[in-house]
Amino acid sequence: MDFLTLFGVYVAVVLACIALVCKYSGHQQTPLGQLVDKFTGIISPWIPQCIQSVCYRSMHRLFHQRNNLFLFLHLLLEVVVYGEFSYEVFGFCLDMGTSLISLCIPYVLLAVKSYLFYMCCSRDPGTLTKANHTAQLKVYKYDEKLFHQGVRCSTCQLLKPARSKHCRVCGRCVQRFDHHCVWVNNCIGAQNTRFFLLYLLSVCAMAGDIAVLTADMLLKAVLRTGLLHAHYIDEQGEQQRAGPIFIIQHLFLTFPRIVFMLGFLVFVFFLLAGYFMFHMYLALINQTSNEWFKGKGHNCQHCHPYSTHNCRTSYNPFRGFYYRGILKNLGEIFWPLCPAQKKEN
C-alpha cells in the first residue's frame, strides 16, 4: 500500500470519527447526521443484532453520559502533535533559518489554550437551582415560540427561564443553553460561552501556526534538495520531470510522521475554523446553537424582546428575537446578563 492510499484511509477514518460526533453529540439534524442516519439504515439489516446492541450501548455511553474519554483523547492528540513538533520539526526549522521567536509561539498558544480549556471544563455553565431560578426568570423575555412562559422542567421541577434547557447528559437545567460539548465534558451556557469561543480560537491558532511552520520547513527541504527541477525514470524507462505527486510521495517517504501531522493539523484547522465562525455568527446575532436548530421550524423570530411591537411584515432573517445590536450581543457573551443589568431599550 503506497503512502497516498494510506493517507486516504487515514482521512476516511478521521471523517468517520467526525461523523460519529455529529451524529451522537445532540445535533442529529445536521446534513452530516442525516447522511449517517441513511447509511446506518442501509447497512443495519446486514449487521447481527448483538453487534448492533453493543454499538448502541457504546455510543450511548460515549455521547449521552458524562465521561472523560474525550478529555483524555484531546490531551493525547495534543501530546502527539507537540511531541512530534518538538522532536523533529523544531530542530529542522532551526537548521533552515526559522527564528526562535516564531518557534516559541506555539508553546505560548498552548499555555493560553490550556487555561481556556480548563475554564471550559471546570466553569459552571449557568446551572439553574432553587436558589437562583426565580432571579433568572427575569433575565430574558419569553418569545412564545421557542420559549413559553409557565413551562416546568419535568426533571428538575423548576419553571424554565427563557433560553434555558435541560441537559440530559449532565442532568441539569442550564441558563442560555447552547449545547453539551463532549470535548470539554461540560455544557456550554451563559457563564462559559466566552471561554468556549476563545478556546476554539486558540485551538485554531495553534493548529494554523504549527501547520504553517511545518509547511514552511517542508517547502525549504524541497527547495534545498532541488526536487522542483529533478527528473526520474518511470516504469517504461523514460525520463520524467518530478511533478507534485512525485514530490508528495518523496516527502511521505522522507518525513512520514511530519506529513501525517501536517495533514491532521490542516484538517483540524479548517474544521474548527468553520465551527468557530458558526458560533461567532450566532454570538453576533445573539442566538445559541440550541435556538438555531429549534428555530428552523419557526419562520419569524425577529420581534424585538424589549418592546411590545411584534413585526409581521418585512424583517431581517439574520436577527433573532434576542438581537440587541452587535456590540451588545457580544457584550452579553463576555458579560452575561443578570436581573439587575437588564434594561429596556
Active site residues: 181
Do 81 and 107 form a contact (C-beta atoms < 8 A)? no
The C-alpha atoms of residue 2 and residue 13 are separated, in whole angstroms, by: 17
The C-alpha atoms of residue 242 and residue 228 are separated, in whole angstroms, by: 7
Q: Which contacts (CB < 8 Å, 24+ apart) does range 107-113 have? A: 109/202, 109/205, 109/206, 109/209, 110/78, 110/82, 110/206, 112/202, 113/199, 113/202, 113/203, 113/206
What is the maximum alpha-carbon separation in the chain? 82
The C-alpha atoms of residue 183 and residue 161 are separated, in whole angstroms, by: 27
In the numeric block, which cell numbers belong to residue 281?
455568527
Contacts of 117 (CB under 8 A, 6+ apart): 74, 184, 199
